[in-house]
A and B are shown apart, each in its own frame.
Chain A
């Protein structure tokens, strides 16, 4: 209260002006609208009268000039510290509380505890007073004070604030589990580039050049780079022959003319079969077992079950004893290890496998499709000199995660809510 309440300033100004003042002059003396606050309180406290826009001091106004008003007195006392409500005039408190930013209220509760009869009796029978330790400190240990002290016993049901460990993401925990499963079974982890020429994503896999999956509406093609030249002329020749007339694979091929230009278009890979076919090309001999757990891209609009980028669980087996029955067995083992015991396979179609199958698990009363598999067609493996059946599969990773955790919106996996991550359980 360096300069006092607005009405105090106004009183002084009116007094100095000889006990009377134009309201307009007061507005000059108390700028920024303070004059209006002052006039309101002057009137309410009966310190001035207003006639024809002229303020004049009342008797009470002149009296107050020399002394202190009750609210000023309370403010002065409060400036020194808190005072109990009972020590102040309720009306003054009420007025001050009504004025902006003057005082604040703190509610304190006092509880009186007294001994019961039982307590008095116990006291009469003699109580030894001993110091109880609450907060443990290093001094208590170092000084040996703890030896003669009692520790206060706590109520173990008292509230304790929640803390959360920093955690790995549920998807990467599931990924770790899958990787461990495959390495346990003797598989080598592999991965290739996201950016591929259509040649490795499609043509080598005997996907006909007019297949709908190659259209702009299903696949992301690239502007930068727009082409990726394939420089293996021998392989180019083999793939062209196989597409046009089956080459020497005993197949009829797709017919028509195969375009190298189309094969060299740059795109984002649409499946991780790119990885496994590259591995087969480099390791055509049995035994070979490889897997990958990596991203693929398809031109899908984002909704609760689709993303334009997702993850495939891919694998191949080249084995002297490899056959369709082995493929089905390995798939069943994989899913049973993932916790799905009711599994069904049914015939399916992919341009690069024959036989082809789709795999479904029974979950929540429904068959849910989780992936596809098959044996690479002769048209696919012949160029690489593979002598044994190549068992291959590509499973959905996010779908598996969503089934395992009961997640209904795939977007929540990749744009995580921090609170969801905190609450995700490691078990």
Chain B
């Protein structure tokens, strides 16, 4: 989630009134955000906003939302848009590269450092989130007075155009930028396989931008800049429009006046930005039923106004105008949520009257519960371990007969490359951690292992002591088997896990369900343990699936 950093005094001046910091710390989370701790008396504030509210990825947007939410300026904020004769001509050559572009102008800006910082952060956040790391959209902000309209958006051969990119003082062609410039290297993959790259140029052939990679240094915005030109290019028309609307309205919050430009291309001509709201209507009673509180149509409309929308009630119907900076409103339930937030989440949660039903536990849970009683009764302490394991521990070291494991494609560490096929290695790792603790140590686990991509509930017990005894392991296994009431047979187990001749396999109706015995010194050493160990492991899934037998 994007973290927005801003200064309390800057927010206050944008709010247009003094709101105590404590009030903001308490109220901002209630519009849908994660408030980070602020350092004592510091005026620096950090807030994480959710991916559905990109309009609040800048302090200007937060101010707009909070003015409505706190009740000082409810309803939708209207912005005047002045028509200009700036034209942006889209050449059909971009269709297969980066088809969409929308632009706007903003005049009479009074730019200070707060704003430049906020603007850069806003662009960065929009690039990362709705821009999906610039693949879906990229934003360029320019000093309008350094270039001459009309502007042209076209795709050119990488070697055909040279300009000085931002953060450089050297003219390069487009392919050089992708190789030599830091941003070029970072975003080169977005142009992979394209024979032409997109550029925005002015009437004199000056390069404003090479989207989605880098702007030209010519149009850099500074505190001297008065008039701004914004371009947003991308492959998703809806996202491009949302980003442009969010950026230009943020500038308007800083005192700029928005100017529309003419977007022209093959078969279209329209003005941009188009800040007209979308119209919705919802039934107040349906919304009220959904939320579970008696909220009247007028209260519903008022809640939406607190969420920065225009809304009015007519009978049971509430008509809402949703600003174009709210792309998250996709369905009427999205408006229900805004009603709930505007009404106040803190007002929910009275009492509930769920329909009576009967509860039940899974067979695996009940089998495990019984087995945990049996094992603690036998003096074993329970351990709980992770299902993630490594091929090496599962088979290589533990000597268990190899079978197909679920293997992770993108593991983080070599300790966690697969899902375990038995519990024994997990418990050996616990013994390894505790090898310097008092003996004897008797531990067990009931947990899931994976076989053929499916979970199976297993039980495993291990004993680490200064001596090990096959007889003891057999006594424990027979105690467990006795409790299940299953008829079983024993056979020699040749797994490398055991000292030869001291391991046994348990079979029920011909299928192997478990094994026990004295662990081989090679396995013990493999787990870096220095004491004898005996073990028993049994597949409980058979019992869970059949739910037969004694205590189970």
Residues of A within 8 A of B (CB): 165-169, 171-172, 176, 179, 182-191, 193-195, 210, 212, 216, 220-226, 228, 246, 249-253, 255-256, 268, 286-289, 295, 297, 299-302, 307-309, 317, 319-326, 328-333, 344-349, 354-358, 366, 369, 375, 377-379, 389, 413-419, 421-422
B239 to chain A, nearest CB (A): 9
How distant is B26 from chain A, measured CB to nearest CB, in Å?
10
Residues of B near any A CB (own CB < 8 A): 29-34, 37, 50-53, 132, 135-136, 236, 238, 289-293, 330-334, 336-337, 340-341, 345-346, 348-362, 364-365, 369, 372, 375-388, 404-413, 416, 419, 429-430, 433-434, 437-438, 441-443, 448, 450, 453-455
Given contacts A166-B381, A346-B29, A346-B30, contact A324 B331 (CB under 8 A): no
Give me 13 A-to-B residue pairs in the complex whose CB atoms sit less than 8 angstroms apart, sorted by A's number.
A166-B376, A186-B359, A189-B365, A193-B454, A255-B238, A308-B416, A325-B349, A326-B354, A347-B340, A349-B32, A349-B52, A354-B336, A378-B333
CB distance from A172 to the nearest CB of B (A): 6
Contact partner of B433 among A176, A355, A415, CB < 8 A?
Answer: A415
**B408 touching A418, Cβ below 8 Å:** no
State how many angstroms separate the Cβ of A375 from the closest Cβ of chain B: 7
Chain B hits for A250, CB < 8 A? 331-332
Beyond A252-B331, A324-B292, whether A186 also contacts B356 by CB under 8 A is yes
Residues of chain A with a CB closer than 8 A to B453's CB: 193, 195, 225, 228
Expressed in whole angstroms, the Cα–Cα distance for A356 and B33 within the complex equals 12
Given contacts A166-B380, A167-B376, A167-B381, contact A194 B419 (CB under 8 A): yes
**Interfacial chain A residues near B29, Cβ < 8 Å:** 346
Interface contact B349-A176, CB-CB below 8 Å: no
Residues on B with C-beta less than 8 A from A358 are 34
Give the complex CA separation of A225 and B548 in angstroms: 33
- Contact call B434/A417, Cβ cutoff below 8 A: yes
CA distance A225 to B359 in the complex (A): 35
- Taking a contact as CB atoms closer than 8 A, the residue among A222, A356, A417, A421 that contacts B337 in the complex is A356
Known: A172-B372, A324-B292, A346-B345. A188 touches B359 (CB 8 A): yes
Q: B359: which of A183, A224, A288 is its contact (CB, 8 Å)?
A: A183
Q: Is the CB of A172 within 8 A of B386?
A: no
| Residue pair A186, B31 in contact (C-beta under 8 Å) | no
Contact A222 B408 (CB under 8 A): yes
Query: Which B residue sits closest to A413, measured CB to CB?
Result: B384
Docked Cα-Cα span, A171 to B383, in Å, equals 9
Known: A344-B346, A346-B32, A418-B437. A166 touches B379 (CB 8 A): yes
A321:B360 contact, CB within 8 angstroms = no
Q: Contacts of B350 on A, CB cut-off 8 Å?
A: 325, 329
A389/B290 in contact, CB under 8 A: yes
The answer to whether A378 touches B291 (Cβ under 8 A) is no
Q: Are A301 and B412 in contact (CB under 8 A)?
A: yes
Which interface residue of A182, A190, A354 has the most chain B CB atoms within 10 A? A354
Interface centre among A172, A179, A366 (most CB of B within 10 A): A172
Is B384 a contact of A354 with CB atoms below 8 Å?
A: no
Report the Cα distance A414→B427, complex, angstroms: 11
Contact B381 A194 (CB under 8 A): no
Q: Which of A172, A183, A190, A329 contacts B352 (CB 8 A)?
A: A329
Candidate in A187, A223, A252, A417 with the most chain B CB atoms within 10 angstroms? A223
A324 touching B340 in the complex, CB below 8 Å, given contacts A172-B382, A331-B349, A389-B290:
yes
- Closest chain B residue, CB of each to CB of A355: B337
Partner of B357, one of A221, A289, A357: A289
Q: Are A220 and B410 closer than 8 Å at their CB atoms? A: yes
Complex-state Cα separation, A411 to B32, whole angstroms:
31
Q: Collect the chain B residues with CB atoms within 8 Å of residue A344's CB.
A: 346
Q: Top 7 closest A-B pairs, CB basis?
A: A325-B292, A323-B292, A183-B359, A347-B32, A349-B50, A328-B349, A355-B337
Q: Once the chains are docked, how many angstroms separate the CA of A72 from the CA of B143?
A: 108
Q: Which residues on the B side are within 8 Å of A183 (C-beta)? A: 359-361
| A228 CA / B360 CA spacing, docked (Å) | 30
Shortest C-beta distance, B54 to chain A (Å), equals 11
Tell me the bound Cα distance from A358 to B361 in angstroms: 27
Partner of B348, one of A216, A301, A324, A389: A324
Chain A min CB distance to B463 (Å) = 12
Q: What CA separation (Å) do A188 and B360 show in the bound complex?
A: 5
State whether B349 touches A345 (Cβ < 8 A).
yes
Give the CA-CA distance A389 to B406 in the complex, in Å.
Answer: 36
Q: Which residues on the B side are within 8 Å of A165 (C-beta)?
A: 376
Query: Could you say which of B289, B352, B360 has the most chain A C-beta atoms within 10 Å of its C-beta?
Result: B352
User: Quick check: A169 and B384 within 8 Å, CB to CB?
Assistant: yes
Contacts of A415 in B (CB 8 A): 385, 429-430, 433
A308 lies within 8 A of B412 (CB):
yes
- How many whole Å from A378's CB to the nearest CB in chain B? 6
Q: List chain A residues, Cβ under 8 A from B408.
A: 220-223, 268
Residue from A166, A169, A330, A331 in contact with B354 in the complex, judged by beta carbons closer than 8 Å: A330
Contact between chains at A190 and B413 (CB < 8 Å): no
Enumerate chain B residues within 8 angstroms of A212, measured Cβ to Cβ.
132
Residue pair B32, A186 in contact (C-beta under 8 Å): no
Partner of A347, one of B345, B355, B407: B345
**Shortest CB distance B107–A (Å):** 33
By a CB distance below 8 angstroms, the chain A residues around B53 are 349
* Given A252-B331, A345-B345, A354-B336, 10 additional A-B pairs, CB 8 A: A168-B382, A169-B381, A186-B359, A189-B362, A299-B410, A309-B387, A324-B348, A326-B354, A349-B52, A416-B433
**Does B348 lie within 8 Å of A347, measured CB to CB?**
no
Query: A328 CA to B29 CA in the complex, in Å?
Result: 17
The residue in chain B whose Cβ has the minimal distance to the Cβ of A358 is: B34
A182 to B365, CA, bound (A): 14
Contacts of A169 in B (CB 8 A): 381-384
B346 touches A348 (CB 8 A): no
Cβ contacts under 8 Å, A346 to chain B: 29-30, 32-33, 345
Contacts of B416 in A (CB 8 A): 308-309
B331 touches A224 (CB 8 A): no
| A255-B336 Cα distance, complex, nearest whole Å | 22
Q: How far is the CA of A289 from the CA of B429 in the complex (A)?
A: 38
Q: A224-B407, A328-B348, A346-B29 are in contact. Are A176 and B388 (CB under 8 A)?
A: no
Whether the pair A252, B355 counts as a contact (CB closer than 8 A) is: no
Question: Which residue of the partner chain A has the closest CB to B363?
Answer: A189
Contact of A167 among B331, B352, B358, B382 (CB under 8 A): B382
- B445 to nearest A CB, angstroms? 8
Give, as a whole number of angstroms, the nearest-CB distance from A332 to chain B.
Answer: 5
